[in-house]
Amino acid sequence: MKVIADYVHSKGLKFGLYSSVGTTTCRGDPGSYGHYQTDADTFASWGIDYVKLDWCGQMCTAEGHKEFSHALNATKHPMVLELCRGTYQNEAKWGYAPSIAQSWRATGDHHDSWKSTLEQVKSVEGKSAWSGPYGWAYLDMLMTGGQGCKGQSVDQALHCPGQTNNEYRTEYSLYAIASSSLLIGTDIRNITAIMRELIFNPEVIAMNQDRSTPGDIMSTCNKKNDIWVRKLANGDIAVAATNLGDAPATLSVCFSDLPGGSSSMHVRDLWKRVDVGVFRNMYSRTVDVHDTMLLVLKSA
């Protein structure tokens, strides 16, 4: 495994492993229960960067989560810990998760469908203050471009997308502004146009990686439409406006509704990577079906 991890690192990538806090993983392989320190030491010796700890098998407990986190820390080798489900999901402010993990699943598995995308994002509405530096609620893997085709061999890199390009753009936009980790659940050996547009946009990544409180949903312009808003550390304001309807629609952002908004604001489009201009009081634009305009605004 160390040889494989070294190879992955040579490609400029990080290497993650999967286990379970219980006796077995979700498909029945041995879990880490009863072997937390042994597994942590082994992962460290392999140079692992990321551990996803599932909630399957017998003996799944919050104490097990805490013991596994302690075991990782005891290795002195830096590894990100993701909690994949647990009792914290039903607790205010994510319970014990922020004190022991860098990320934690806010809800169930994400699937390559528009319905699933909306369900994932819904799980963190109204909970932005529950995450912050070193601890972030996570919306499961992005399906950007398609998660893969059933029955294909390991030598293929096909995607079989289950969502439209507009829906993938919305998925990525809302994950980014909600401060979810941006893990790509698709084969990166075959990078499609929509994958390249979304995954390699440095301005969207920078907004996602900002140390500020995650974005959250609010209504704007006398409840004309909902937007996601995030006040960035430098005082700029990120805004995502999604067209949930089945026809193109004009969506608006009223500056007086924004935290730190001003009467005149400079608007930058993150997906087009262009400065749109300076506007007074509000900004409106037609947005295609299930698409999202993703903006950064600053006082002019």
pLDDT in tens, 87-120: 999 999 999 999 999 999 999 999 999 999 999 9
Q: What is the pLDDT of residue 187?
A: 87
Same-domain check for residues 68 and 117? yes
Q: What is the pLDDT of residue 186?
A: 84
Choosing from 6, 39, 49, 109, which is the catalytic residue? 109
Specify the DSSP element, H or E, that contains 54.
strand 50-54
Whole-number average pLDDT of the chain: 96
Task: Dump pLDDT digits (tens) for 254-264.
Answer: 999 999 999 99
Q: What is the pLDDT of residue 188?
A: 87
What is the spatial distance between Cα 83 and Cα 214, in angstroms, rounded to a whole number? Answer: 19
Q: 84: pLDDT confidence band, cut at 50, 70 and 90?
A: very high
Q: What is the pLDDT of residue 153?
A: 85
**Contact indicator for 137, 95 with CB cutoff of 8 Å:** no
Share of the chain above pLDDT 90, in %: 94
Predicted confidence (pLDDT) at residue 25 exceeds the cutoff of 90: yes
Q: 5: pLDDT confidence band, cut at 50, 70 and 90?
A: very high
Same-domain check for residues 199 and 287? no
Reply yes or no on whether 29 is catalytic.
no
Choosing from 29, 39, 49, 54, which is the catalytic residue? 54
Single residue among 208, 226, 251 that ends a domain in this structure: 208
Single residue among 208, 235, 262 that ends a domain in this structure: 208
Same-domain check for residues 137 and 21? yes
Single residue among 208, 227, 260 that ends a domain in this structure: 208
Q: What is the pLDDT of residue 272?
A: 97
Same-domain check for residues 230 and 267? yes
Instruction: Give the residue-averaged pLDDT of 266-295.
Output: 98
Strand order in the sheet with 103-105: 16-20, 50-54, 80-83, 103-105, 136-138
Q: What is the pLDDT of residue 175?
A: 98
CA distance to 3, 4, 7, 208, per residue, from 11 (Å): 13, 11, 7, 23
Same-domain check for residues 195 and 56? yes
Q: What is the pLDDT of residue 206?
A: 98
Same-domain check for residues 186 and 234? no
Q: 147: pLDDT confidence band, cut at 50, 70 and 90?
A: confident
Share of the chain above pLDDT 70, in %: 100
Q: What is the pLDDT of residue 293?
A: 98
Nearest residue to 64 (alpha-carbon basis) of 15, 28, 101, 105: 101
Domain that holds residue 44: 2-208
Angle at 216 between CA 212 and CA 217, to 5 degrees: 155
Q: What is the pLDDT of residue 247?
A: 98
Same-domain check for residues 223 and 112? no
Same-domain check for residues 101 and 230? no
Alpha helix (H) residue ranges in 142-289: 165-177, 193-199, 202-208
Reply yes or no on whether 109 is catalytic.
yes
Q: What is the pLDDT of residue 154?
A: 84
| CA 177 distance to own-chain centroid | 9
Q: Per the structure, how many domains does the chain have?
A: 2
pTM recorded for the entire structure: 0.95
State the CATH number of the domain containing residue 276. 2.60.40.1180
State the CATH number of the domain containing residue 122. 3.20.20.70
Q: What is the pLDDT of residue 152?
A: 85
Task: Dump pLDDT digits (tens) for 193-242.
Answer: 999 999 999 999 999 999 999 999 999 999 999 999 999 999 999 999 99
Same-domain check for residues 56 and 170? yes
3-state secondary structure of 281: coil
Predicted confidence (pLDDT) at residue 156 exceeds the cutoff of 90: no
What is the spatial distance between Cα 60 and Cα 22, in angstroms, rounded to a whole number? Answer: 5
Instruction: Give the residue-averaged pLDDT of 275-290.
Output: 98
Instruction: Give the residue-averaged pLDDT of 167-195.
Output: 95
